[in-house]
Amino acid sequence: MSTRHPLLPDTVSLPEKGGPVLAAAILHHCDILVTGDHIHFGQLYGKAIQGVSVLSPTMLAEVVLRWKNNANTPPLIFGRLTMRYVGGILSITG
């Protein structure tokens, strides 16, 4: 059953249990929502909903690995989240 959550745009339709998850991410100003629930969130993968990028775990891993494997890697910034790779250690701050 799909219901619209008041914090979500009219264009986003999620099942009853999924709406509050995305709404909480929006309410708390998250930069990224990582979810493996491809059945309910799959249509939102790779999209930003009110500033929250919805990614699958694989998508996040691909972003980090592609970024990490570049020579002279500068910090990777997702909104307020900054990732640095120094001396074999991944540091995530935000």
Which two three-digit tokens encode residue 82?
């900054």
Phi first, then psi: what are they for 90, rounded to 5°? -90, 120
State how far Cα 34 lies from the chain centre. Answer: 5
**Parent domain of 25:** 19-93
Over residues 42-69, the pLDDT tens digits come to: 999 999 999 888 999 898 888 777 776 7
Q: Whole-number mean pLDDT of the chain?
A: 79
Beta bridge partners of 46: none
Residue 45 lies in a domain: yes
Which two three-digit tokens encode residue 6?
């008041």
Residue 37 lies in a domain: yes
Three-class SS state of 35: coil
- Cβ atoms within 10 Å, residue 43: 13
Q: How confident is the model at residue 37, as a pLDDT?
A: 92
Residue 10 lies in a domain: no
| CA–CA separation, 56 and 88 (whole Å) | 24
Residue 2 lies in a domain: no
Residue 1 lies in a domain: no
Residue 14 lies in a domain: no
Residue 5 lies in a domain: no
The number of distinct structural domains making up the chain is: 1
Nearest CA-CA partner of 73 in 61, 86, 82, 63: 86
Residue 76 lies in a domain: yes
pTM metric for this prediction? 0.72
The amino acid present at 88, given as its one-letter code, is G
| 93 confidence band (pLDDT: 50, 70, 90) | confident
